C-alpha cells in the first residue's frame, strides 16, 4: 500500500503505527541476546532493595544527572521491575537506554529501546528515539540491523519528514565512513525529494552542509569524484561541489584580520575575498556598534572578540568578512543602507533607539538583524529581528528553575525598588514563578534612594509585628516564604540584605540579578557575610573551558582579559559563519537554520532558539564570595539553607520559651538554656 507523505509533526494513524510496529519488532528480534547488567565494580554502591519507588526514582535520577551511568543503569533496571505509570515507565526505559549505551552495554541499550516501542508505538514518530537506536546499532557493529532499520524508515513515508531526513543524514555519515559513497548519494537524494515543502529541504541542506564542513579530506574527495561536475542544481551534488571549491581556495586566504573598521571611507575586498565569494565561500557580517562616545570601550571589546573569531576561522579555511559601522556616526544609516545584500547578517545594535531607527529605515526587512539587546520592544522576535543577548526572562528562568527544581522551595517573595528596572523584573519573575507552580507569598517595594526607609519595607515584607519595636526580645514569626527575589544593584545589595538579617531572615535564599554577576567580576575583598545563601545569574564564567580558550587566543593581541563583551563578539562571528544565510533569506528560513545549528561552541553561556526564533540563554548561577563569585552548588546551597532554617526554628522555640519563663518567674532571668549552634 502506498503511503502519503505527511509534514513534520503530523500524527501517524493508529493502524499504520500498529502495522509498522509489527514489522519493526520482527526486525528487532533479529538482534536479541542475553542482557548484561552492570558489574559490582561498575555500579559503585548497592542501594537497599527495600527503598520506596519514589526514593529509588530520585536516586536513579541523581546518578543519571551526574553522569554516573553504571549506577543509573542498575537503578533504572531495578525500577522497571516495579509497577510504574506509563509516563514514568517511558522515562525509565529512555534513561536506561542512555545509561546502558554510555556504560557500553549496547545490547541492554537496544533492549530498552525495543521495550519503549512495545510500550508506546508513537515513539517511532520521534527523532530522539531513532537517533539513539541508530547510535546503538552502530556501536553493536551490526551492519545488517542498521540496513534493516534504514530500509524500514525509507518505506514508511507516513512518518514525519523531519525524522526521515535526520535519519538519512545519520545513515549518510555511517556509510561515508565505511566507504559506501554511492549509497550515500542515493539515500540523500531520494529522501530530499520526498520533502513535502521547501522548508524541509532547506533544513536538510543546511545540516548536510555542516556535515560536509567537518568531513575528512579523503572522504570529501571520494564524494566529489563520484558526483563529478554535473548536477550543480541538485542535492547533494551542489553542496559537495561547493565544499570542494571552498577547500581548494582556502589556502589562498590570508589569516590577517579583514575587519573593516568604521570610518568615512569604505574598504574594498581583496582579490582573494572576491574569488572566494564567487565560490559562495565568504560569509559577510556587519556589526552596528557605538565605536565612539560613552560606550566606545565596550564596543571595542566586542570588535576584539570578533577579530579573534575571524582569524581562527581563517586558519580553518573559512572566509569571513566583517564590516563595523559606528552607530554614533552621522551617516551610520546611510552606511547600513549601502550594504550589499551579501551582508545578510547584522549584529547589534547595542542601543534600543538605534534598533527602532533600523526598523523604520527598512534594515530589519533587508538584513537578518541579531540585536545585542535584552528585549526588542516593538519588534517581533523571530519575525522582524532576533536576539543575541541575555534577556530578563533568561535571568529569572535560571533563578526560578534553581529555586523550584534544585532547592525544593515552593513559596517565594519579591522586594524591588520603585524603578522601571525593578518593576519590570518583578513582573517577569512573578510570571515565571507562577508558571513553575511557585506561590508568591509576599511582594513589596522600596524607594531606591531613601535608605532609612528600607528597613520598614523589609519589615512589612516579613510581617514583623508592631509590638517588636517595644520589645526587641520578642520572638519574630517565621515568614511563609523561603526565598526572596531582590532586583537591586550590587552596590546597594549589602545594605538591603542587612535589614533582612536584622529581622531574623538569614535563613532565606536571596535571588539577585545579572547586575550582581557583572559587578562581582570586578570587585575583590567583599564582605560576603550577608550572601552565604545568595545566588545570581550570569552569562560569563572565566573558568569555563571555552572561556579559557578565548583568553588564550586573546593573549598577545591585547592587554585586556576576556570578558562577556569580548565573548559576545567572538561567539557572534562564529554563529554568523555557521548560520551562513543566503542573500534571499526569509524569516522562516532563519528560524529553520537556527534549529539545525548543532555543536556550536560558545565562550559565554550558550544560546539556543526555539522553532519561533525566540532566543534562550542558559545562564550560569553564581554565589557572591569574598574574592568575587563562584559557581553555585545547588546541593550545598540546599543543605546550608536547611541548616540555617533549623537554627532559626530552634531560636524561635527558645525565644518563645524564654518569654513564657519570664512571665512565670516575674523576673528578667531566664529559666531556659539558649540553644547552641
pLDDT value of position 154: 86
CA distance 602 to 309: 11
Rounded mean pLDDT, 10-21: 43
Helix axes 198-213, 161-177, angle to 10 degrees: 20
Rounded mean pLDDT, 644-664: 74
pLDDT value of position 558: 58
pLDDT value of position 656: 67
CA distance 84 to 93: 11
Average pLDDT, the chain: 83
pLDDT value of position 250: 54
List pLDDT tens digits, range 91-110. 999 999 999 999 899 999 99
pLDDT value of position 32: 42
pLDDT value of position 527: 84
Q: Is the pLDDT of residue 671 over 80?
A: no
CATH superfamily of 409-538+623-639: Response regulator (3.40.50.2300)
List pLDDT tens digits, range 141-177. 888 888 899 889 888 889 999 999 999 999 998 888 8
Cell numbers at 252, concatenated: 589562498
What percent of the chain is modeled with pLDDT above 70? 83
280 Ramachandran zone, left/alpha/beta (phi>0; psi -120 to 50): left
| Per-domain boundaries in the chain | 180-250, 253-390+545-601, 409-538+623-639
pLDDT value of position 315: 85
Stronger pLDDT, 144 or 383, i.e. the higher one:
383
Rounded mean pLDDT, 350-370: 94
Same fold, 253-390+545-601 and 409-538+623-639: yes
Q: How many Cβ atoms sit within 10 Å of the Cβ of residue 127?
A: 18
Rounded mean pLDDT, 11-28: 45
Does domain 253-390+545-601 match CATH 3.40.50.2300?
yes
List pLDDT tens digits, range 555-564. 866 567 899 9
List pLDDT tens digits, range 472-522. 666 678 899 999 999 999 999 999 999 998 888 888 999 999 999 999 988
∠349-353-356 over CA atoms, to 5°?
Answer: 85
Residue 437 burial (C-beta neighbours within 10 Å; 0-12, 13-18, 19+): exposed
List pLDDT tens digits, range 439-477. 999 999 999 999 999 999 999 999 988 777 666 666 678
Q: Is the pLDDT of residue 261 over 80?
A: no
pLDDT value of position 599: 67
Spatial contact of 490 and 462, defined as CB atoms under 8 Å apart: no
Stronger pLDDT, 566 or 147, i.e. the higher one:
566
pTM: 0.60
Spatial contact of 319 and 380, defined as CB atoms under 8 Å apart: no
pLDDT band, very low/low/confident/very high, at 42 (cuts 50, 70, 90): very low
Amino acid at each position: 500500500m502506498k503511503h502519503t507523505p505527511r509534514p513534520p509533526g503530523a500524527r501517524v494513524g493508529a493502524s499504520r503505527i500498529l502495522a509498522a510496529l509489527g514489522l519493526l519488532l520482527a526486525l528487532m528480534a533479529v538482534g536479541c541476546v542475553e542482557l548484561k547488567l552492570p558489574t559490582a565494580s561498575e555500579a559503585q554502591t548497592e542501594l537497599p532493595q527495600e527503598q520506596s519507588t519514589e526514593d529509588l526514582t530520585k536516586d536513579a535520577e541523581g546518578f543519571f544527572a551526574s553522569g554516573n551511568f553504571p549506577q543509573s543503569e542498575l537503578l533504572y533496571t531495578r525500577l522497571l521491575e516495579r509497577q510504574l505509570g506509563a509516563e514514568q515507565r517511558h522515562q525509565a526505559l529512555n534513561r536506561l537506554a542512555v545509561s546502558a549505551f554510555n556504560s557500553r552495554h549496547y545490547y541492554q541499550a537496544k533492549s530498552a529501546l525495543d521495550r519503549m516501542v512495545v510500550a508506546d508505538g508513537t515513539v517511532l514518530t520521534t527523532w530522539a528515539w531513532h537517533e539513539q537506536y541508530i547510535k546503538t546499532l552502530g556501536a553493536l557493529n551490526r551492519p545488517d540491523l542498521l540496513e534493516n532499520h534504514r530500509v524500514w524508515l525509507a518505506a514508511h513515508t507516513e512518518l514525519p519528514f523531519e525524522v526521515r531526513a535526520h535519519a538519512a543524514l545519520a545513515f549518510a555519515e555511517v556509510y561515508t565512513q565505511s566507504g559506501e559513497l554511492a549509497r550515500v548519494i542515493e539515500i540523500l537524494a531520494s529522501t530530499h525529494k520526498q520533502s513535502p515543502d521547501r522548508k524541509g529541504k532547506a533544513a536538510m541542506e543546511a545540516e548536510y552542509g555542516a556535515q560536509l564542513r567537518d568531513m575528512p579530506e579523503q572522504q570529501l574527495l571520494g564524494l566529489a569524484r563520484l558526483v563529478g561536475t554535473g548536477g550543480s542544481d541538485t542535492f547533494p551534488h551542489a553542496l559537495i561541489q561547493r565544499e570542494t571549491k571552498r577547500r581548494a581556495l582556502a589556502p589562498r586566504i590570508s589569516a590577517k584580520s579583514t575587519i573593516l573598521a568604521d570610518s568615512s571611507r569604505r574598504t574594498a575586498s581583496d582579490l582573494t575575498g572576491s574569488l572566494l565569494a564567487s565560490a559562495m565561500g565568504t560569509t559577510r557580517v556587519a556589526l552596528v556598534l557605538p565605536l565612539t562616545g560613552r560606550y566606545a570601550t565596550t564596543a571595542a571589546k566586542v570588535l576584539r572578540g570578533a577579530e579573534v573569531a575571524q582569524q581562527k576561522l581563517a586558519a580553518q579555511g573559512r572566509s569571513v568578512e566583517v564590516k563595523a559601522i559606528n552607530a554614533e556616526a552621522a551617516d551610520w544609516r546611510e552606511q547600513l543602507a549601502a550594504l550589499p545584500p551579501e551582508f545578510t547578517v547584522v549584529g547589534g545594535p547595542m542601543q534600543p533607539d538605534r534598533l527602532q531607527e533600523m526598523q523604520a529605515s527598512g534594515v530589519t526587512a533587508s538584513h537578518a538583524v541579531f540585536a545585542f539587546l535584552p528585549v526588542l520592544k516593538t519588534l517581533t522576535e523571530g519575525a522582524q529581528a532576533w536576539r543575541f543577548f541575555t534577556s530578563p526572562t533568561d535571568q529569572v528562568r535560571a533563578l526560578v528553575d534553581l529555586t523550584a527544581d534544585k532547592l525544593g522551595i515552593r513559596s517565594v517573595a519579591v522586594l524591588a525598588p520603585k524603578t522601571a528596572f525593578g518593576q519590570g523584573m518583578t513582573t517577569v519573575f512573578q510570571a515565571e514563578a507562577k508558571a513553575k507552580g511557585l506561590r508568591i507569598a509576599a511582594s513589596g517595594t522600596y524607594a531606591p534612594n531613601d535608605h532609612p526607609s528600607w528597613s520598614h519595607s523589609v519589615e512589612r515584607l516579613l510581617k514583623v509585628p508592631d509590638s517588636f519595636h517595644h520589645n526587641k526580645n520578642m520572638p519574630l514569626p517565621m515568614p511563609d516564604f523561603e526565598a526572596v527575589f531582590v532586583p537591586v544593584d550590587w552596590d546597594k545589595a549589602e545594605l538591603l540584605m542587612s535589614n533582612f538579617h536584622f529581622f531574623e531572615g538569614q535563613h532565606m535564599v536571596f535571588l539577585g540579578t545579572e547586575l550582581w554577576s557583572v559587578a562581582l567580576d570586578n570587585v575583590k575583598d567583599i564582605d560576603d557575610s550577608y550572601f552565604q545563601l545568595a545566588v545570581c545569574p550570569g552569562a560569563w564564567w572565566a573558568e569555563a573551558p571555552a572561556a579559557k580558550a578565548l583568553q588564550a587566543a586573546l593573549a598577545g593581541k591585547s592587554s585586556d582579559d576576556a570578558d562577556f563583551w569580548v565573548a559576545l563578539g567572538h561567539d557572534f562571528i562564529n554563529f554568523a559563519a555557521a548560520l551562513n544565510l543566503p542573500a534571499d533569506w526569509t524569516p522562516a528560513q532563519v528560524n529553520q537554520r537556527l534549529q539545525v545549528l548543532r555543536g556550536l561552541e560558545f565562550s559565554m553561556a550558550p544560546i539556543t532558539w526555539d522553532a519561533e526564533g525566540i532566543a534562550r540563554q542558559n545562564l550560569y548561577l553564581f554565589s557572591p564570595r569574598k574574592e568575587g563569585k563562584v559557581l553555585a552548588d545547588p546541593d550545598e546551597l540546599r543543605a546550608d539553607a536547611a541548616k540555617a532554617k533549623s537554627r532559626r526554628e530552634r531560636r524561635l522555640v527558645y525565644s518563645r520559651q524564654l518569654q513564657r519563663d519570664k512571665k512565670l518567674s516575674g523576673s528578667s532571668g531566664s529559666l531556659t538554656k539558649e540553644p547552641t549552634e
